[in-house]
């Protein structure tokens, strides 16, 4: 069953939480195009180093799990041509998902207000570690800091007198991606 068949999604995401949202949309039948910088999503190399997983062109489990069911394109969004191509993708899209910080999106003209004016029917999903409002809205958010540390999960993984365990990667990311 593919309830989202025919839906077009543009995915400007990195690492795990929001990319996995795109993966789920793809599993449900959406056509998902992931836009990456020329150097690629940092998860292509960083996750393997951090968690000791295999990382090669043939095998990168962290990246693959978060990015199944996607097509990929590399664009330099700091150039006029790269932004022009991105706008063409968005013009044909139903949904835009990103975890790029709000300030960076605004600088490129990819923030909600600008996109809603150009593409009023476009739905935008924005995954941020600390939300869109408040003193830390522009801070980078990662699973270990936002979810495990600040969310209190580390406190549940320790015995008296021990240090908290280091959890498997994506523990909170994968849960957040579903929502």
Contacts of 125 (CB under 8 A, 6+ apart): 18, 21, 95, 96, 97, 98
Domain count, the chain: 1
DSSP structure class, residue 69 = T
Which pLDDT belongs to residue 64?
Answer: 87
For the residues 134-142, what does the mean pLDDT come to?
Answer: 82
Whole-prediction pTM: 0.87
| 42 or 111, higher pLDDT | 111
For the residues 64-69, what does the mean pLDDT come to?
Answer: 91
User: What's 69's domain CATH number?
Assistant: 3.40.50.10540
Which pLDDT belongs to residue 60?
Answer: 79
Among residues 11, 41, 111, 173, which one is catalytic? 173
- Concerning whether 11 is annotated as a catalytic residue, the answer is no
Q: Is 147 among the domain residues?
A: yes
Rounded to the nearest integer, the mean pLDDT of the chain is: 87
Residue 161, burial from CB neighbour count under 10 angstroms (0-12, 13-18, 19+): exposed
| 170 or 22, higher pLDDT | 22
Q: Is 100 among the domain residues?
A: yes
């Amino acid at each position: 069953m593919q309830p989202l068949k025919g839906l077009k999604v543009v995915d400007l995401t990195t690492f795990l939480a929001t990319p996995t949202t795109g993966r789920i949309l793809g599993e449900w039948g959406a056509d998902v195009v992931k836009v990456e910088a020329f150097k690629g999503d940092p998860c292509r190399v960083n996750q393997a180093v951090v968690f000791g997983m295999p990382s090669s062109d043939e095998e990168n489990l962290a990246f693959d799990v978060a990015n199944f069911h996607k097509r990929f394109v590399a664009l330099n969004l700091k150039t006029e041509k790269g932004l022009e191509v991105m706008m063409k993708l968005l013009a044909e899209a139903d949904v835009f998902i990103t975890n790029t910080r709000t300030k960076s999106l605004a600088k490129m003209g990819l923030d909600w207000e600008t996109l809603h004016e150009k593409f009023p029917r476009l739905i935008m999903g924005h995954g941020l570690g600390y939300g869109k409002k408040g003193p830390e809205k522009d801070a980078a958010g990662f699973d270990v800091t936002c979810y495990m540390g600040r969310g209190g999960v580390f406190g549940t993984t320790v015995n008296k007198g021990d240090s908290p365990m280091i959890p498997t990667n994506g523990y909170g990311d994968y849960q957040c991606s579903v929502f």
